[in-house]
Structure 1
Amino acid sequence: MTAAVRDIWRHPIKAHGRERLAQVDLTVGAALPWDRVWAVAHEAARFDDAAPAWAHCRNFTRAAGSPSLMAIEAEVDEASGRIRLTHPDRPEISIDPADPADAARFIAWAGPITNPDRPQPARLVRAPDQAMTDTDFPSISLINLATHAAVAAEVGQELSPLRWRGNLLLEGLAPWAEMDWPGKRLQIGSAELEVVEPIVRCMATTANPVTGERDADTLGALKRGWGHQICGVYAVVTQAGTIRAGDPIEVRP
């Protein structure tokens, strides 16, 4: 089987919803369009609203501490800038994140599905020139579905690959093939990506993306089976272009 992209996903509000795409146009030095453009700063966040810039994930409400957030789905209307969000325990909501009134409605909407024992969501924030990825560079995350299957086998139950919140889900590879990719380039569609580093995982991956409940010890499985907490790799765009679901992948030195 030829290595290829099976799915493309973006997460317009960091840790608060995912959206599947058929194709995406990539730009050098940027994350996926509309991926993690916004983030939810919590009440203890050290985020400078007067000089907004990329900030560490510790400043934001995330599924690592609030697993119910994993069950949010999102849909972006790029023409209007509105985002529609759904969750099994909340009414559907549609917001323009740039509108203060809509942003306040969203914070109120997200509160009941945020862990009450963690700092509570306070405001929507963004950096004007960089996505709020977990890396301090504009990354795109790649998940090898064969690696995912190996982790699921170690856990001993079927798992959704959406637990990893990746941008590109890849099929047709050997398990852990991506561990040899840092420093290499990938030709996918008309775009080129350079793989930078592996992704060290957190508690968010223990939560079911359908129910938002913690139901699988993914971190324990990674440690038992392979002695680390890595699944997936981060890459950056080195050549602009379009990627479509089904596009083959060519790995280059």
Structure 2
Amino acid sequence: MRLGSIERIWRYPIKSMGGERLESADVDERGLMGDRLYAVRDAEGRFGSGKNTRRFRKMPGLLRLSSRYPEAERLAEPELLDPDGVPVADAAAYLRHYLRRHDVEVAREGAVSHFDQLPLSVLSTATLDWMRTALAGIPVDERRFRPNLLIRTPPGTPTFVEDQWLGSEVRIGTTVRVTFVRSSERCLMVNESQQGLPHSPLVLKTIARTHAMRLDALGTVTAPGTIDVGDPVVVIRP
């Protein structure tokens, strides 16, 4: 059964920042290669995020920044872009001034994972279109929900169709296989402002009211390969 096709691919080189839109991506057991491979780390070893936990430290404003990998240097330390999309010369110096913290740096993932949950997040256009309708007047696109893949689903596909995908294994393109395990529990990050998207507390309130704080399908990669925009997503094991 065909679920749809890849509409857009997103990779986030530095955790909790805006990402880069790709036409093609290599995928391994960790997810999209280079996704959230770097993070802003403080002196206690905690990673910059939208919340405080044992691993993460809340650092407001990170989402207004973005990052990308230099085209000529595959998975080299990513470029940091300011809120206007302009690359900064010294990422650590910029972040220390921007965050008003003197103990932060951009660090590559080590023994502690940068992922909040599972490595691959997938969102359907059916769910995204519903969110746009429910939040009429508030700019909404998939960047609020930070998926790796936006899947174009057929007309008439129900909202929150991702729930029906959980437990199934799909093939994306010709080689990549993903098993959907659970959905993400959303936090205040979906409300935060970023380029072209203003702050709005109604985003999380809507998800909480209609779908128990959950939105997307999270998966593990069971077979690696390369994916491209337009690739079909087909169920191979319900």
Same fold (TM over 0.5): yes
Residues 240 and 223 of structure 1: CA distance in aligned 2, closer, same or farther (over 3 Å): same
Residues 113 and 215 of structure 1: CA distance in aligned 2, closer, same or farther (over 3 Å): farther
- Structure 1 Cα separation of the partners of residues 72 and 53 of structure 2: 28
Q: Which moved more, 1:179-188 or 1:155-164?
A: 155-164
| Equivalent pair of 2:66/2:85 in contact (CA under 8 Å) | no
Root-mean-square deviation (CA), in Å? Answer: 2.8
DSSP-derived class of the 1:200 partner: coil
Residues 70 and 211 of structure 1: CA distance in aligned 2, closer, same or farther (over 3 Å): farther
1:122 is matched with which residue? 104
2:114 is matched with which residue? 132
- Structure 1 Cα separation of the partners of residues 229 and 54 of structure 2: 32
Residues 7 and 217 of structure 1: CA distance in aligned 2, closer, same or farther (over 3 Å): same
Instruction: Give 2:36's aligned amino acid.
Output: R
- Structure 1 Cα separation of the partners of residues 183 and 77 of structure 2: 33
Alignment of 1:196-207 (within 5 A): 196-207=181-192
Map Cα deviations across residues 138-159 of structure 1 (whole Å, 9 max, x no partner): x111111221221232222331
Map Cα deviations across residues 194-231 of structure 1 (whole Å, 9 max, x no partner): 011101111111023315742352110112223x1111
Residues 184 and 90 of structure 1: CA distance in aligned 2, closer, same or farther (over 3 Å): closer
Q: Which of the numbers 218, 229, 236 marks the counterpart of 1:245?
A: 229
- Structure 2 Cα separation of the partners of residues 156 and 32 of structure 1: 32
1:25 is matched with which residue? 26
- Structure 2 Cα separation of the partners of residues 233 and 120 of structure 1: 37
1:229 is matched with which residue? 213
Residues 166 and 152 of structure 1: CA distance in aligned 2, closer, same or farther (over 3 Å): same
| Equivalent pair of 1:155/1:216 in contact (CA under 8 Å) | no
Structure 1 stretches lacking a partner, 5+ long = 48-55, 95-104
**TM-score after normalising by structure 1:** 0.77
Identity of aligned residues (%): 25
Q: Which of the numbers 163, 181, 185 marks the counterpart of 1:179?
A: 163
Residues 6 and 121 of structure 1: CA distance in aligned 2, closer, same or farther (over 3 Å): farther
DSSP-derived class of the 1:26 partner: strand
Deviation at 1:251, TM superposition (A): 2.1
Residues 177 and 142 of structure 1: CA distance in aligned 2, closer, same or farther (over 3 Å): same
Q: Which of the numbers 31, 56, 59 marks the counterpart of 2:55?
A: 59
What is the number of residues matched between the two proteins? 225
Instruction: Give 1:93's aligned amino acid.
Output: V
| Equivalent pair of 1:200/1:229 in contact (CA under 8 Å) | yes
Map Cα deviations across residues 12-36 of structure 1 (whole Å, 9 max, x no partner): 1111330111111212x22211101
- Structure 1 Cα separation of the partners of residues 103 and 42 of structure 2: 4
**TM-score after normalising by structure 2:** 0.81
1:70 is matched with which residue? 63
Map Cα deviations across residues 71-101 of structure 1 (whole Å, 9 max, x no partner): 323220265314222223685225xxxxxxx
Q: Which moved more, 1:190-199 or 1:126-135?
A: 126-135
Displacement over 6 Å in runs of 4+: none
| Equivalent pair of 1:9/1:19 in contact (CA under 8 Å) | yes
Structure 2 stretches lacking a partner, 5+ long = none
